[in-house]
Structure 1
Amino acid sequence: MSVFIDITGLPRERITFGPSPLAELGAALHTLSEPAHHARLHGWITTTSAALKPELADRLHEADFLWRSTHADILLPAAPRETLAEELDDLDLMDDEKYVAAALEISCASQYGEGLPSPLVDAGVRQRALELAAARGPRQAAFVRQMLADPPGVRAWIRRLLEDCEEAFFADTWRRVRVQLAADARHKTEMLRRKGLAEAVSAVSPAVTLEEDGLRTRIVVDKLSDGRTAATGRGLTFLPTAFGWPHLVALHTPGWQPVVQYPVSARELTDATPVDTVKLRLEAVAHPMRMRLCRSLARGSYSTGELADTYGITAPEVSRHLAVLRKAGLLTTQRRGRYVLHQLDVAVVARLGSDFLEGLLR
């Protein structure tokens, strides 16, 4: 499961790295609405939340589906600007149908990549948006009804909300983080120029890779979701964020320029474990017999014969179970004379829970 961005034939100058105040504000608002995702930012979350005026906090709650359960595409500009005002001006140029369709993608639904029509023109999509909003609460449902009835009015309301966030807390936050983000973007741009795309992409995140097969070149974003898009004819934008980890956001809506928002702190972490590897490891330890074998293997090194004798099964059965655990990268082996001894790699197993959670949130 991954998001694939086809960049075949795309000139390197159409691949850009740059900080975006609008995207960073969206990431900051998500952090405020889902603090459990961002334990490392506990201090900022606590201080900022305590300083929010009740009226602004109430308005943020009303529109929080724009950044809480999903990152609305309208918050990920493909052409980053110096100021939030400039990016909001660009957003004002978007037509109502496209804006409303992007704003009302309320859940990470499988239909995201299908290029559904706008709820302003399609009754079925409109009903789906209303149902999804109703599940979020009566305030959110009323907000969506108003957006469908008066798109220009609600768009102006959203702009004022984001401007009020800038005045209340984000201007100060942006002053503190934009130097770091700009430096990261310059570093990636220079790496792209000097060392090539593969090096630049790998520096974005261990979960982002470049695939080339002679006929096609594509960026692969390792996520627990499927998606395909093409940057050909448009371009590809990478947006660094100080608020993003553990999220790695890939905008791949049909007809939109692809955008990847990546956390700049990712380089400080251990390598991201691919989601397919996490799945393989969970399946490996879920089997009742392998779970019992792991109990012994976590305590010391054992041969196949010892495990067979301990658990009353045949040596070939033990070998088959050990092969599954070994393929999942959960075992270490060593030879001692004529015996091969197996032991559980407890460090890998200890990371399994955090790897699973990171894969879910990525």
Structure 2
Amino acid sequence: MSVSIDVSRVRAEGYRFAPSPLAELGSAVHLLVEPAHHPAQNGWVSSVAASVEPQLLERLIDADFLWRTSRADMLLPAEPGATLGDELDAVDALSDETWVSAALLTSSCGTVPLHRELGSPLVDPAARDLARERALARGPRQIGFVDYVLDNPPRARATIRRLLEDCEAAFFAEAWAQLVPRLTADARLKHDVLATSGLRRLVDTVSPAVTVDDDGTRIVVDKLQDNATTADEAGVTFLPSVLGHPHLLVVHAPGWRPVIQYPVSGSAVAGGAAPGPATTVEVIEERLHALDNPVRLRLARSLIRGPHTTADLAEAWSLSAPEVSRHLAILKQAGFVTTSRRGRYVVYVFDVVAAARLGRDMVEALLR
């Protein structure tokens, strides 16, 4: 399952890399209302939650339809501005129909189907019913917010802008000052990789969940829904994010320039642990398969207590040496076992760190 972007008409200069204060603020408020998704940032979340007024957190929860389960497309600008104010001004320039569609029928998370045939919920009854149905499934606060947006779009828009500006004043300005040099450096690195090594190498540096097809005409992003869009000559925008880790967001709604917000690896905001390298769903499947066998689990129980040879393991579990070797090869391919040589013997060692990391990697891959 994936979101694909046709880039056959995009020239090298059509790929844009830049930090966005609005996109990173969207990640920040998602962190605050859904901290369980981001254990590496628990320190930062706790620090901010303890320092801001409880009323501000309540206001974020009231509007969490925009950033908890999914992220409103308008919060991921294709034309990043120099300041949050610049980007909010660009959002204000959107028509009410476009703003409401971006808010209530978002595409970026790829967790729910995108109904391309629907119009804006302000003018299309089917789109309005869909937005309300999704909100009803999330809870009373969410349906209250969606009805507020549908009943009075200008007032709702002003409320959201004021909320984001209050977040900037309360905690985000300080975080952004810390993050922007890191994000700028990563964006510059991506630009240089594209210029020197091409698109395929570029997407390799973005995430293992992003690939280019064999023809080099489509960017393919591993997501929970199958969808596709086409980038015109205006191109594709890449937004680096620290607070967004491990999410990989893709704006692919009709009429919007494709945007990919990707996590910057090996970095964290103050108070958080640095995230590890991203892992694909395919790798997780391989690792789970390696442990989904009683014989391999027995071998792992022996190896986790200390290094063993094939002969040791065969004797301990009454198995043949070829059978042990076959299972060890699967464990080694999955990254759970390494080998070393002691004289004429090959010794197998269980990687405890790799096993401990499996749960975290699986959650991050599923959340991406």
SS at 1:112's partner residue?
A: coil
Matched with 2:176 is 174
Q: CA deviation at 1:43?
A: 4.3
For residue 244 of structure 1, what is the amino acid of its counterpart?
Answer: G
Distance across 2 between alignment mates of 1:217 and 1:109: 21
Counterparts of 1:267-346 in structure 2, within 5 Å, are 270-299=276-305, 300-303=307-310, 310-311=316-317, 321-322=327-328, 324-332=330-338, 344-346=350-352
Percent identity for Structure 1 against Structure 2: 52
CA 1:146 to 1:298, structure 2 compared with 1: closer, same or farther past 3 Å?
same
Matched with 2:144 is 142
Counterparts of 1:1-362 in structure 2, within 5 Å, are 1-105=1-105, 111-115=112-116, 117=118, 118-209=120-211, 211=212, 213=214, 215-223=215-223, 226-266=226-266, 270-299=276-305, 300-303=307-310, 310-311=316-317, 321-322=327-328, 324-332=330-338, 344-362=350-368
Distance across 2 between alignment mates of 1:279 and 1:241: 26
Query: Which consecutive unaligned segments of at least 5 residues does structure 1 have?
Result: none
SS at 1:155's partner residue?
A: helix
Structure 1 residues 125-134 or 6-15, which shifts more? Answer: 125-134
Query: Which consecutive unaligned segments of at least 5 residues does structure 2 have?
Result: 268-273
For residue 170 of structure 1, what is the amino acid of its counterpart?
Answer: F
Q: Give the root-mean-square deviation of aligned CA atoms.
A: 3.2
- TM-score, normalised to structure 2's length? 0.82
Q: Decide whether the 8 Å contact of 1:224 with 1:275 is kept in 2.
A: no
Distance across 2 between alignment mates of 1:276 and 1:357: 13
Distance across 1 between alignment mates of 2:98 and 2:246: 29
SS at 2:247's partner residue?
A: coil
SS at 2:22's partner residue?
A: helix
Provide the aligned length of Structure 1 versus Structure 2: 359
Q: CA deviation at 1:84?
A: 1.9
CA 1:116 to 1:336, structure 2 compared with 1: closer, same or farther past 3 Å?
farther
Q: CA deviation at 1:18?
A: 1.0
SS at 1:229's partner residue?
A: strand
Distance across 2 between alignment mates of 1:146 and 1:224: 29
Q: Decide whether the 8 Å contact of 2:19 with 2:187 is kept in 1.
A: yes
Structure 1 residues 20-29 or 280-289, which shifts more? Answer: 280-289
Q: Decide whether the 8 Å contact of 1:106 with 1:133 is kept in 2.
A: no
Distance across 2 between alignment mates of 1:188 and 1:51: 35
SS at 1:162's partner residue?
A: helix
- TM-score, normalised to structure 1's length? 0.84
Q: Decide whether the 8 Å contact of 1:212 with 1:218 is kept in 2.
A: yes
Structure 1 residues 83-92 or 177-186, which shifts more? Answer: 177-186
Q: Deviations over 1:143-168 (max 9, x none)?
A: 11121222232122212222222233
SS at 1:257's partner residue?
A: coil
CA 1:280 to 1:264, structure 2 compared with 1: closer, same or farther past 3 Å?
closer
CA 1:335 to 1:165, structure 2 compared with 1: closer, same or farther past 3 Å?
closer
Distance across 2 between alignment mates of 1:109 and 1:184: 24
Distance across 2 between alignment mates of 1:43 and 1:322: 39
